């Protein structure tokens, strides 16, 4: 799959995930720039493993983001 197609899939998945992240009480209190950056990182990582479904990508990125932020607040 070419880079342009991957970028388009990540963009759609990001929009789906971001609509959830903005309203999630566990995530929304974090800085938007941090949330945005980490979400992009997780999406780009997941697409490299072969996932192409935007909903699956979005959900996986949200799970990873929540887990990462939960670990950082426990320390």
Vertex 24 angle, CA 19 and 27, to 5° = 105
Cα 42 to Cα 3, 6, 61: the distances in Å are: 17, 14, 5
- Per-residue pLDDT at 5: 93
> In the predicted model, what is the mean pLDDT of the chain?
91
pLDDT tens column, 16-49: 999 999 998 888 788 999 999 999 999 999 999 9
Q: What is the rounded distance in angstroms from the CA atom of residue 26 to the CA atom of residue 65?
A: 10
Tell whether the model's pLDDT for residue 75 goes beyond 70: no
Q: Which pTM does this prediction carry?
A: 0.89
Q: What's the whole-number mean pLDDT along residues 49-58?
A: 95
């Amino acid at each position: 799959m070419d880079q342009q197609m991957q970028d388009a899939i990540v963009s759609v998945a990001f929009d789906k995930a971001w609509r959830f992240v903005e309203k999630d009480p566990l995530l929304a209190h974090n800085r938007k720039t941090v949330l945005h950056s980490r979400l992009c990182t997780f999406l780009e990582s997941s697409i490299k493993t072969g996932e192409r479904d935007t909903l699956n990508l979005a959900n996986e990125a949200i799970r990873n983001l929540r887990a990462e932020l939960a670990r950082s607040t426990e320390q």
